[in-house]
Amino acid sequence: RHVVDGKFVFICERSKTNKKIRHIFRHCITPNGEAIPTGEKRKHKNKVYLCKSDAELIVVDNGKKWKTFAVQRMP
């Protein structure tokens, strides 16, 4: 689990292949606790949240201003 900006959570699944451990991004959780599948958008308090598989959460403020929160993958 990753917390972004104190509110947004990314869920990753641990996968082991060829003795290498990697974390596969699965879905995000909005501030109200709703799970968002990869590639889908949800509105929350006049903001649109897009769940992206490259482990970034893009927030659109009222459709005018873009903010990007980068997420480190799980160690």
pLDDT digits (tens, 9 = 90+) for 25-65: 566 766 666 777 777 777 767 777 677 655 444 333 444 44
Q: Which of 53, 61, 59 is nearest to 4 (CA)?
A: 59
pTM over 0.85: no
* Residue 51 placed within a domain: yes
Question: What total number of domains does the chain contain?
Answer: 1
pLDDT score of 9: 53
For position 43, what pLDDT does the model report? 73
**Cα R_g (the chain), whole angstroms:** 13
Asked whether residue 17 is domain-assigned, the answer is yes
| 63-69 long-range Cβ contacts below 8 angstroms, 24+ apart | 69/4, 69/5, 69/8
Predicted pLDDT of residue 54: 52
Domain hosting residue 12, numbered range: 2-70
β-bridge partners, 69: 57
Give a yes or no: residue 75 inside a domain.
no
Give domain status of residue 32, yes or no: yes
Greater confidence, 50 or 74? 50
**For residues 3-25, average pLDDT:** 53
Q: Is residue 57 part of a domain?
A: yes
